[in-house]
Amino acid sequence: MTTTRPSGDPLPPRPAEAHALEVARGLPGTRIACTTTGRGQAASALARERADAHVTAWFLDLSQHDLAIGEWGARPEQLTAVCTADMPPGPYELAVVPLAKDGEAELSRDILQAALVNLAIGGQLVAAIDNPRDTWLHGQLAETGETVRVRPAQGEKPHTICYVVEKTRELRKVRDFSCEFMVRDRERLLKAVSRPGVFAHRRIDPGARHLLNAVDVAPDTRVLDIGCGSGCVAIGIAARDPSVHVHAFDSVARAVECTARGAAMNGLTNVSVALEAAGGVPDPGSYDLALANPPYYSDFRIAQLFIDTAWKALAPGGTLLVVTKQPSWYLEHLPQMWRDVAEDPVKTYHLIEALRPSSL
């Protein structure tokens, strides 16, 4: 049976975040940093309960940041929401980090390290995960050399476990999780950089490779890279001709940072980058080519946003090029508004090309 949330009722936190919040409520601290597996419920609750606190809710994804702000409603002055590539610097007295058992392991390590680095000596980290039989998170925390206190969930069938670590000294080693790698585009080797949480970390994604190989751009072409990830496609195209301008955007703050860094590393001045979750672009209606590599494992909500963005951005007669593993949705939906929709299979991927008509 499907249940719906009554209109106006706050969205409850996911189990790991609810457990972390429960434990954090029993710990002192007025300077608090929180991450989230949902809509920032732990940060919101702690800010509302501690009038003398300053709570920072840190997001990597702007879409998650915006959804949380919408969920919070009237926000207390002591609650700040930020979407940045790195946790805003402390020192914090309390850090609350809920994690998902199916989350990206390297990203989880990065976030845990950031929380510990930014804690004051004597500050406490509360970390929870939605796996009552967890050993992985406990092991990561134990490697710091600090004492790890276990806070099991209450109830007959626990779904989570929580740990508390008090920081007694600075970390002996702070790991750099970023990765510089090389990308070949035709006869040229280009530098790229990625970080945990960026698509795709440590490599060029095969879909992005097919997209890059399929593109030829004329001089002075204006290109839009929708959901740029680490920026391999944007950098590759921009490096072919300095008269081409590429505008790349992503909702993930680290993706924007990595794309900008990659462009700078290759000496490219014809790439602009923006943090964007709603599909806004500068000078809509002026682009000649829009490129997209949307998630193919979702319900196509993001794919629809990418398509709508391309429609608004492209000049009449402009071209949309999408790479996907699930072409059926595009072949069914694009012909309703786009013309000359074509499919080109490439190994396990499909390139979908469509033209924006001059008028409907």
190 with 280, same domain?
A: yes
268 with 129, same domain?
A: no
pLDDT reported for residue 156: 77
Angle between helices 41-49 and 62-72 (to 10 degrees): 40
Report the CATH number that the domain containing residue 57 is assigned in CATH. 3.40.50.150
Domain boundary residue, one of 166, 200, 223: 166
Residue 6 placed within a domain: no
79 with 218, same domain?
A: no
255 with 317, same domain?
A: yes
Read out DSSP for 109-170?
A: HHHHHHHHHHEEEEEEEEEEES-TT--HHHHHHHTTTS-EEEEEPPSSS---EEEEEE--S-
pLDDT reported for residue 295: 86
pLDDT reported for residue 2: 42
153 with 184, same domain?
A: no
Residues in the chain: 360
Q: Which domain holds residue 248?
A: 179-355
Comparing C-alpha atoms, which of 20, 67, 63 is closest to residue 45? Answer: 20
186 with 154, same domain?
A: no
135 with 81, same domain?
A: yes
Matching residue, tokens 């602009």: 272
pLDDT reported for residue 332: 97
206 with 140, same domain?
A: no
Distances (CA, A) of 67 to 36, 40, 263: 12, 9, 30
The H-or-E segment that residue 222 falls in is: strand 222-226
Kindly give the pairing relationship between strand 119-129 and strand 161-166: antiparallel
187 with 320, same domain?
A: yes
pLDDT reported for residue 3: 44
Domain boundary residue, one of 134, 166, 198: 166
pLDDT reported for residue 116: 98
Whether 119 contacts 92, CB under 8 Å: yes
Residues of the chain with pLDDT under 70: 1-8, 297-298, 360
Does the predicted model carry a pTM greater than 0.75?
Answer: yes
Residue 135 placed within a domain: yes
127 with 202, same domain?
A: no
